[in-house]
């Protein structure tokens, strides 16, 4: 505690840098969208929905129009997304956590990436339809 009070400027700078890093990493992963925003973009044909859960989870229920590219296969199957370069690519996972890493990968490859906030858990929590 003595260090913090004696070096308050250094500690403040460190905390500001950590905060900036977290915010920057968040934006690199793509903007998070609500279920309503995702629905609107899909209905308007402005987005491609990519479900990055494994095939078994995808088959147990997914959002209509979603294509399944499991996270482990994303790099190998990125060519399948080329047709979406002029649209948004919306990533969906189980809880909204894994999509951040996939979002950074796709943004580096030049895609406009967004993520479903809360993933499939949020979609189901809002009682929105899923298909199997």
Greatest pairwise CA separation for the chain in angstroms? 60
Question: What is the domain-level CATH number for residue 120?
Answer: 3.40.250.10
Q: Cα separation of 51 and 131, whole Å?
A: 13
- Domain assignment present for residue 55? The answer is yes
Provide the residue range defining the domain that includes 83: 30-125
- Domain assignment present for residue 21? The answer is no
Number of domains in the chain: 1
C-alpha distances out from residue 105 to 13, 87, 102, 112, Å: 29, 17, 5, 11
Tens digit of pLDDT at every position of the chain (132 positions) = 676 666 877 877 777 777 665 655 555 557 788 999 999 999 998 899 999 999 999 999 999 999 999 999 998 998 898 888 888 999 999 987 788 888 888 988 889 999 999 999 999 999 999 998
């Amino acid at each position: 505690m003595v260090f913090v009070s004696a070096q308050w400027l250094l500690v403040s700078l460190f905390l500001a840098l950590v905060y900036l890093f977290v915010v920057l990493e968040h934006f690199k992963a793509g903007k998070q969208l609500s279920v309503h925003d995702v629905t609107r973009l899909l209905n308007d044909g402005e987005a491609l929905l990519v479900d990055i859960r494994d095939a078994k989870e995808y088959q147990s229920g997914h959002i209509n129009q979603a294509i399944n590219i499991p996270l482990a296969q994303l790099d190998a199957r990125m060519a399948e997304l080329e047709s979406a370069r002029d649209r948004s690519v919306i990533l969906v996972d189980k809880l909204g956590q894994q999509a951040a890493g996939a979002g950074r990968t796709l943004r580096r490859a030049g895609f406009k990436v967004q993520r479903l906030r809360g993933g499939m858990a949020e979609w189901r929590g809002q009682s929105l339809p899923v298909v199997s």
